[in-house]
Structure 1
Amino acid sequence: MTETHTAYTDTDTLIRLLDAAEAMPAAAALRARSYEVLRLPPGATVVDVGCGTARAVVELAEHAAQAIGVDLDPAMLAAARRRFPDIDVRAADATELPLADGQAHGYRADKVYHVLPDPHAALAEARRVLVPGGRIALLGQDWDTLVIDSDQPELTRRIVHARADSIPHPRVARAYRNLLLDAGFHDVDVEVHTALFTDASMLPMFVGHTAAAQQAGVITGDEADNWIGEQTRRAQDDRLLVAVPMFLASATR
């Protein structure tokens, strides 16, 4: 699971949160499933859109002849190149990919479409770069249905929905199927997996949520401190629980 950059003051904080979340066994299994539904043939070219620090690009390279990562964030691309000097990552927008028509056999976007200005345009670009019969996989969470155990359910609802409202397309994951159908893809399939977190690794995400809720004027500073304090105590006492529905949609060009 990821946050948008606006919730944090620096990219390093975001990268630390991403690393903690993506290192969990369930996250690794879900990534592996997203590669599996691409059905990449031998010698395939695959593009990972919004690749971040390129963990998936490296893993996809084990399944394809050429894995290409694209991202618009210079700091993310720099971190990717530091970590994995031999990978192919490029600065590019999701609506202007640096690939020829029909060059890719696979297209993957993980926790990206909720921040894109125009998901429809991004899918049109996906169709352009995919070979006929190529496969697409979209992976992401539904920001409106984040489940957080709390002694303050009404305050928790306000925080969750305020955070969702700060994102361009918070419910895009539940719309993946219809978006793919509208874009002309076929053999569309949707799976829902639940990401479960019970440790302190999610506390930085909570800070981002309360910051967004405060900025929207939905909660006060005292309410934010009180809620973060509760969740911190829960983490210390092994009582924290967060459940996130993750949608994985796949289709054929």
Structure 2
Amino acid sequence: MLKVPPRAVGVDPRPRMMAAARERWPEAEFREAGAEDLPFADGSVRGYRADKVVHVLQEPGRAVAEARRVLCPGGRIALVGQVWGAIMIDSDDAAFTRTIVHARADLLGTPRAGRQYRSLLLAGGFDDVTVEAHTSVFTDPATLSLLARLAEPACAGGAVGRDQADEWLAEQRRRAEAGRLLIAIPFFVASASA
């Protein structure tokens, strides 16, 4: 009997992301859809991975239920995502840094979803649920762009002033130039069986 190797199918609801994925991997298969309405038959998928997805959803439980629907018995699910409100940045002004981090987190659908992975999977009827926490540490000046992606939305949303945000970013650039930049981002990795 000829055994068919497993194949991965990428799914994203945004046409821009689909175009970028198809350009990068022209031989791969991609489908435009959201996590709450997957284009797969019941029980037709052996593995499901949502990588940095759940925190942007308004109703992560719906996405977990949809993953359960498409997974075959014994299929595996993995959820991976950063804990937005817990991002750690070395700074001279810890209170202002917390304000930026929390303001950015609060703009997401479910910014603390990583903490809920275990409960989401158990409520979704999954078995053998495991959760791990990992922290990625960045010290390379090339990661300064990540700090701008935190500060800009906090500024645009009115949580911090433009002058304050610019001074904070300038401090981080000085830290990078002196070899003292430090950003730590905790991630949760949860897995389970259908």
Q: Under a length normalisation based on structure 1, what TM-score does the superposition of the two structures give?
A: 0.73
Partner of 2:131: 190
Q: What displacement does 1:215 show?
A: 2.4
Amino acid at match of 1:134: G
Q: Which has the larger radius of gyration?
A: 2
1:228 to 156, 169, 174: 169
**How far is 1:138 from its partner?**
0.1
Among the aligned pairs, what percent are the same residue?
A: 53
1:246 aligns to 2:194 (yes or no):
no
Among 127, 141, 159, the alignment partner of 2:68 is 127
Measured on the aligned residues, the alpha-carbon RMSD in Å equals 1.2
Task: Find the counterpart in structure 1 of residue 151 from structure 2.
Answer: 210
Q: What is the identity, as a one-letter code, of the residue corresponding to 1:187?
A: D
Shift of 1:200: 2.0
Residue equivalent to 1:101: 42
Aligned residues between the structures: 192
Match of 1:179 among 120, 128, 138: 120
1:143 is matched with which residue? 84
SS of the aligned residue for 1:169 comes to coil
Structure 2 counterpart of 1:169: 110
Q: What is the alpha-carbon distance in structure 2 between the residues aligned to residue 73 and residue 222 of structure 1? A: 34
- Matched ranges for 1:106-121 at <5 A: 106-121=47-62
For 2:6 and 2:74, the matched residues in 1 are separated by 18
In the alignment, the residues of structure 1 paired with residue 150 and residue 87 of structure 2 have an alpha-carbon distance, to the nearest angstrom, of 11
In structure 1, what residue type is equivalent to 2:40?
L
- The 5-angstrom pairing of residues 23-34 of structure 1 reads none
Highest RCO, 1 vs 2 (Cα 8 Å, sep ≥ 6): 2
**Matching of residue 83 in structure 1 with residue 24 in structure 2:** yes
Q: Could you tell me which residue of structure 2 aligns to residue 71 of structure 1?
A: 12
TM-score by length of 2: 0.95
